[in-house]
Chain A
Amino acid sequence: MHLPAWRFGKPYESIERTTLVHFLSGEPVAEVSQVGGALVGRDLGKAARAREALLAFEPEDIVERLQTAGNLYAHGTLSVGGTPQSPADFVRQQSATTGLPESLCRANMQKNLFVLSNMDRMLDALSRGLPPEILWKGWGREQRGVVVSYQAQAPVLGLVLPSNSPGVHTLWLPVIALGVGLVMKPGGQEPWTPYRMAAAMVEAGIPAECIGLYPGATDVGAAILASCRRSMIFGSAKTVEQYRGNPRVQVHGPGFSKILIGDDCVDDWERHLDLMAESVAANSGRGCINTSAIWASRHTEAIAAALAERLGPIPVKPPDDPDAKLAAFTVPGAAKAIWGQIEAGLKAPGVSHATAPYGERFVEGERCGWLRPVVAHCDSPDSEIAKAEYMFPFVAVVRCPQEQWLERIGPTLVATAVTDDAALQARLADCTDIDRLNLGPIPTTRLDWLQPHEGNIIDFLYRSRALQVPAPAAAATA
């Protein structure tokens, strides 16, 4: 199987290819064409055509086609790189090159399907009920009778996608429905979702010329970021720092998501063990929305011990085992290096390792490695490991007086606040370190798709600005 680049609808087979291999057997799974940054830069010179192609359709028509695409993506056999690919093929291929268990690949497929199937409701929620034609035309009259203008800031959204979790793709699925094209650099190990999704969209009647797929090295990412007026990049804390304050780039890095158990509820902590376990370990702990720290002012050692008892025994299983819950680290040496870092962190003063009684955490394979869940207990938020996040089920249970939380929690993508204390809820609602706030026992991994995630994509792609027309013309648009 060969995945060519997709130059706004035209397949392009590069002389340079990488071979994706099965993480266990080393067997080749697919070849992927590799292109250079200049080729992307050249194509992006014609990016305006992508939006023009979309605007030739009615917005409702595009939404319907996306819903069809969702169905094809989840259930159809699609031609991907000229090869028929069934949903089962897709799951096997994705698991083979990412190390994610097949059951988790299937679960992520369902997430993407859900988003595409509910695109009309999502758009309505994200746009706060804005008539979709306003995004198409750039201005129009709202239901309340006011002329509003939303100006597209870019004809395409550039995406530098990661390999770590197929779940992140839900973020860009609404873009086409907003009248904006897609230019993607697929993750090196996970080209599968972008390719299958693009195939499903084109099959469903989305114009092929509004999607670009450019697999390649870092220069492709650099070209996308340099040439697209709006881009999304997924990366490390360093990447986040590099693009901080750049209005053209929305950067998604570590989440440092947390569960905060208020003083009013912490004596009943056992009631919330399911919530904590799911938040830490769902999707093999790979996401930025997985909980990496649980904060409380007391009972933290008991919480850590109970969580360790729940998560510690989770074994490494073959990827096709329906009970497999742990993904492999497919980059050689990665799991070992991470474990070395964690081991050092666990030796720090005030830190203890709650999962120690449940066997070795680092499991070495022939071509890959696994890390079994780790629960650390920290006497205070001062230790390094209290601020860590890793791509597997890892959590630090941190003892910290409630009155110190807000000044000490730092950036938090998702915070679940288990508290009925209205004053604490109000302070958390005001805390700008927190992005998504769950008031009540909702797992950090459970997303309400009708809410914006890491900023509203419409605010990123469109600018609400003033537009005035003489009264008769305004009336005519009504």
Chain B
Amino acid sequence: MASPSSVADKPPVFAVATPAAVAEARTALDAHVVEMMAWHFHESTGCPFWLDYARSLPFDPLKDVKGFADLRKFPPFEDEWLRGGPVRRWVPKGLADKPMYVFETGGTTGVPKSRVNHRDFRTDYEMFSDTLPEEFFPRGANWLMLGPSGPRRLRLSIEHLAQHRGGICFCVDLDPRWVIKLIQKGWMEHLEAYKQHCIDQAITILTAGHDVKCMFTTPKLLESLALALEKRGTTIHKMGITGIFSGGTEFTPQWTRFAVEELLDGAYMTPTYGNTLMGLAASRPVIPADGYTIAYYAPQPRAVIEVVDFDDPDAVVPYGGTGRVRLTTLTHETFIPGFLERDEGERELPYAKYPWDGISGVRPFRALAASTTVGVY
């Protein structure tokens, strides 16, 4: 029988954060947690859901949570709470008069989970923008968003990222729920045809003289676009793309190596890990010397990723150990304490640029993987 083999342990080839930097970041996180408790659990600013929930708790979040570690006092967050309405119960009173978006996640069958947003997605992507190298993502360049559209945060976020950097974003229509249905029904020819339909739209934009230099796409669509262009005797880079921002759990070191060596033709790609609940985690530079390891760091203190024991979600695994992703979101718009994600991975050492824990090898959580359909969008 087969079992996955792991890359051999080796000394880090990246700049590990100093203990002082790690301690400083932790202090900032603790202070941020206290600020968030004061916001989310104060009668004048908190949302109806949390104010109501606080009454059932055996502790007072305003007094008893003095730092990140104290968030353990909350029972695990259940994402089922995010299904169904009324949606206003999630809107903090302090933001009640602000224009609100609602973004959905899942929803292939049944009621999708939703998260309200005022400008969190803009803040997250403005912060992420600061991590993009100018050389490959030049200011003023136009963008192509080749990814899921509809009621998703990503669609607006990429457009905002492009605008924030002085560019204009071209988009395609892509319904990931239909993609998942096609896979579940085994309609693989329709799946190919739908993928081709999306790629055709992308190629039409890239060949229309719009000076598109930057792109968001998913690993699978990046593959399809590169192969379609190769058939036409050209490449992503030759079409003018210099920087690609990509996201999805399908990133593996081997896939990244293949993309760098055979698909990108010198265009730069930065993998990211994100979702509607957390926001966006940037990656450490992905380099051959690091075995193309893809390690993500959450946008702390707005969100925190921990890698926890499969059987004890309050216990963080040792560095290099494997565990489930536990997510905490701490913004003025959203409070999500200790949500156990549907992903697993290995705990990574703090990186100089992001002096807190990271995660690598992100993949669907093994206990759920068999029942999860990973989309191909």
With contacts A18-B2, A19-B5 known, is A242 near B231, CB below 8 A?
no
Pairwise interchain contact A20-B192, C-beta atoms closer than 8 A:
no
Pairwise interchain contact B2-A189, C-beta atoms closer than 8 A:
yes
Pairwise interchain contact A15-B254, C-beta atoms closer than 8 A:
yes
Pairwise interchain contact A36-B258, C-beta atoms closer than 8 A:
yes
Pairwise interchain contact B227-A16, C-beta atoms closer than 8 A:
no
Query: Which residues of chain A have C-beta atoms less than 8 A from B257's C-beta?
Result: 15
Pairwise interchain contact B263-A38, C-beta atoms closer than 8 A:
yes
Query: Which residues of chain B have C-beta atoms less than 8 A from A20's C-beta?
Result: 1-2
Question: What is the interface residue range for chain B against chain A?
Answer: 20 to 34
Stretch in A39-47, A64-72, A426-434 with 4+ CB within 8 Å of B: A39-47
With contacts A14-B254, A38-B263 known, is A31 near B230, CB below 8 A?
no
Complex Cα–Cα for A42 and B261 (A): 12
Complex Cα–Cα for A222 and B231 (A): 19
| B252-272 residues at the A interface, CB under 8 angstroms | 252-255, 257-258, 262-263
Interface assignment of B136: CB less than 8 Å from any CB of chain A? no
Complex Cα–Cα for A97 and B223 (A): 33
| B175-225 residues at the A interface, CB under 8 angstroms | 186, 188, 192, 220, 223-224
Q: State how many angstroms separate the Cβ of A97 from the closest Cβ of chain B.
A: 8
Complex Cα–Cα for A222 and B187 (A): 12
Interface assignment of B107: CB less than 8 Å from any CB of chain A? no
Q: Mark A65-97, 1 if CB is under 8 A from B, else 0.
A: 000000000000000000000000000000001
Q: State how many angstroms separate the Cβ of B350 from the closest Cβ of chain A.
A: 24
Partner of A41, one of B7, B188, B223, B252: B223
Pairwise interchain contact A31-B5, C-beta atoms closer than 8 A:
yes
Q: Mark A8-48, 1 if CB is under 8 A from B, else 0.
A: 00000011111111010000000110111111011001000
Q: State how many angstroms separate the Cβ of B147 from the closest Cβ of chain A.
A: 17
Interface assignment of B166: CB less than 8 Å from any CB of chain A? no
Pairwise interchain contact B2-A226, C-beta atoms closer than 8 A:
no
Interface assignment of B320: CB less than 8 Å from any CB of chain A? no
The total of chain A residues at the interface (CB under 8 A) is 32
Pairwise interchain contact B231-A16, C-beta atoms closer than 8 A:
no
Query: Which residues of chain B have C-beta atoms less than 8 A from A39's C-beta?
Result: 258, 262
Query: Which residues of chain A have C-beta atoms less than 8 A from B220's C-beta?
Result: 38
| B90-144 residues at the A interface, CB under 8 angstroms | none
- Tell me the nearest residue of chain A to B183, going by C-beta: A222
Complex Cα–Cα for A23 and B3 (A): 12
Complex Cα–Cα for A42 and B229 (A): 11
Complex Cα–Cα for A287 and B228 (A): 40
Query: Which residues of chain A have C-beta atoms less than 8 A from B227's C-beta?
Result: 38, 41-42, 45
Pairwise interchain contact B192-A226, C-beta atoms closer than 8 A:
yes
With contacts A36-B254, A38-B263 known, is A18 near B4, CB below 8 A?
yes
Partner of B3, one of A21, A38, A242: A21
Interface assignment of A188: CB less than 8 Å from any CB of chain B? yes
Interface assignment of A322: CB less than 8 Å from any CB of chain B? no
With contacts A15-B253, A45-B231 known, is A331 near B258, CB below 8 A?
no
Q: State how many angstroms separate the Cβ of B82 from the closest Cβ of chain A.
A: 31
Interface assignment of A332: CB less than 8 Å from any CB of chain B? yes
Complex Cα–Cα for A20 and B5 (A): 10
Pairwise interchain contact B258-A242, C-beta atoms closer than 8 A:
no
Interface assignment of B14: CB less than 8 Å from any CB of chain A? no
Query: Which residues of chain B have C-beta atoms less than 8 A from A97's C-beta?
Result: 1
Complex Cα–Cα for A34 and B252 (A): 11
- Tell me the nearest residue of chain A to B231, going by C-beta: A45
Interface assignment of B49: CB less than 8 Å from any CB of chain A? no
Partner of B5, one of A17, A225, A242: A17
Interface assignment of A164: CB less than 8 Å from any CB of chain B? no
Q: Mark A378-392, 1 if CB is under 8 A from B, else 0.
A: 000000000000000
Pairwise interchain contact B5-A18, C-beta atoms closer than 8 A:
yes
Query: Which residues of chain A have C-beta atoms less than 8 A from B7's C-beta?
Result: 15
Pairwise interchain contact B252-A225, C-beta atoms closer than 8 A:
no
Interface assignment of B151: CB less than 8 Å from any CB of chain A? no
Q: Mark B56-85, 1 if CB is under 8 A from A, else 0.
A: 000000000000000000000000000000
Query: Which residues of chain A have C-beta atoms less than 8 A from B262's C-beta?
Result: 39, 42
Interface assignment of A297: CB less than 8 Å from any CB of chain B? no
Interface assignment of A330: CB less than 8 Å from any CB of chain B? yes
Partner of A331, one of B1, B186, B252: B1
Query: Which residues of chain A have C-beta atoms less than 8 A from B365's C-beta?
Result: none
With contacts A15-B292, A222-B188 known, is A38 near B223, CB below 8 A?
yes
With contacts A42-B262, A242-B186 known, is A23 near B291, CB below 8 A?
no
Query: Which residues of chain B have C-beta atoms less than 8 A from A189's C-beta?
Result: 1-2
Complex Cα–Cα for A35 and B254 (A): 8
Complex Cα–Cα for A24 and B310 (A): 28
Pairwise interchain contact A36-B255, C-beta atoms closer than 8 A:
yes
With contacts A15-B253, A16-B253, A42-B262 known, is A188 near B223, CB below 8 A?
no
Query: Which residues of chain A have C-beta atoms less than 8 A from B255's C-beta?
Result: 36, 38
- Tell me the nearest residue of chain B to A19, going by C-beta: B5
Query: Which residues of chain B have C-beta atoms less than 8 A from A19's C-beta?
Result: 2-5
CB pairs A–B below 8 angstroms (8 shown): A14-B254, A17-B5, A18-B5, A20-B2, A36-B258, A42-B262, A42-B263, A238-B186
The 7 closest A-B pairs by CB, nearest first: A38-B223, A18-B2, A16-B254, A15-B254, A15-B253, A19-B5, A242-B186
Q: A18-B4, A20-B2, A42-B227 are in contact. List 7 more A-B contacts (CB 8 A).
A: A15-B254, A19-B5, A20-B1, A21-B1, A36-B254, A42-B263, A331-B1
Interface on A for B, CB 8 Å cutoff?
A: 14-21, 23, 31-32, 34-39, 41-42, 45, 97, 188-189, 222, 225-226, 238, 242, 330-332, 367
